């Protein structure tokens, strides 16, 4: 077969399908949790992005998640999030803590949700997510987005962005974005907020997270050329 003909197979359905037969996807197959939430940019908290987290628990104290902009087969891979327990977070150097946000408000407000399959009844989803919410309420996240889909939807351009979350009412996301998410997933954020009051304990987040609340400043990553020996 000529090189061009061989190369053309690369994008064919049979060639792509054969990958599962000849290659291992063990890290991907270890993912067992799908969480849906919203992020905003550390340097511009008026910009909000729906984020679908596909997570693996490396230990009781540490999770790692890949983030897509949807749950569709052609979803764009837009970033990563590391989720750490309070135990790990409080052990971090103070300089490191500025990159981390709390999950307390996300959980208690109903914004962070376990994304179940369409045929799963809402009541069943509420029960299924309780262990997760009880755990995540006390965790902290470090989130980097490598694709700013709100400003460059076609390609991942520019440096990565540090993302944050919400710590109180009135911070977002916009009402229409929230309604769109809830309608698609057959959920209701306000209802979840009320139901979670019935089982979530009182919790005060650890010092050091959500540093922007005290400083009023965001963080950006800038490109800097250095000598490479």
- Read off the pLDDT of residues 11-57 as tens digits, 9 standing for 90 and up: 888 888 888 888 899 999 999 999 999 999 999 999 999 999 999 99
What is the separation, in whole angstroms, between the first and last Cα of the chain?
43
**Which position has the token pair 């940019």?**
41
Residues 130-158, mean pLDDT to the nearest whole number: 97
Q: Tell me the pTM.
A: 0.93
CA 16 to each of CA 7, 8, 21, 53: distance values in angstroms, whole numbers, following the listed order? 13, 12, 10, 24
Give exposure, 201-228, as e/b (b: 16+ Cβ within 10 Å).
eeeebbebbbbbeeeeebeeeeeeeeee
């Amino acid at each position: 077969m000529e090189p061009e003909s061989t190369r053309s197979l690369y994008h064919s359905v049979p060639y792509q399908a054969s990958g599962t037969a000849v290659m291992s996807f063990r890290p991907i197959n270890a993912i067992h949790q799908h969480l849906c939430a919203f992020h905003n940019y550390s340097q511009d908290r008026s910009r909000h992005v729906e984020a679908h987290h596909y997570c693996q628990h490396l230990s009781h104290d540490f999770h790692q998640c890949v983030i897509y902009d949807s749950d569709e087969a052609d979803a764009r891979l837009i970033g990563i999030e590391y989720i750490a327990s309070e135990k790990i977070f409080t052990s971090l150097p103070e300089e490191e803590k500025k990159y981390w946000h709390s999950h307390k408000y996300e959980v208690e407000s109903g914004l962070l949700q376990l994304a179940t399959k369409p045929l799963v009844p809402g009541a069943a989803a509420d029960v299924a997510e309780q262990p997760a919410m009880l755990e995540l309420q006390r965790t902290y996240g470090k989130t980097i987005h490598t694709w700013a889909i709100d400003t460059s939807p076609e390609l991942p351009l520019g440096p990565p962005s540090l993302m944050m979350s919400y710590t109180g009412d009135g911070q977002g996301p916009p009402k229409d974005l929230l309604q769109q998410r809830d309608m698609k997933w057959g959920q209701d954020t306000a209802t979840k907020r009320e139901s979670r009051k019935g089982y979530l304990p009182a919790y005060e987040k650890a010092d050091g997270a959500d540093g922007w609340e005290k400083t009023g400043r965001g963080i950006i990553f800038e490109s800097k050329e250095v000598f490479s020996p």
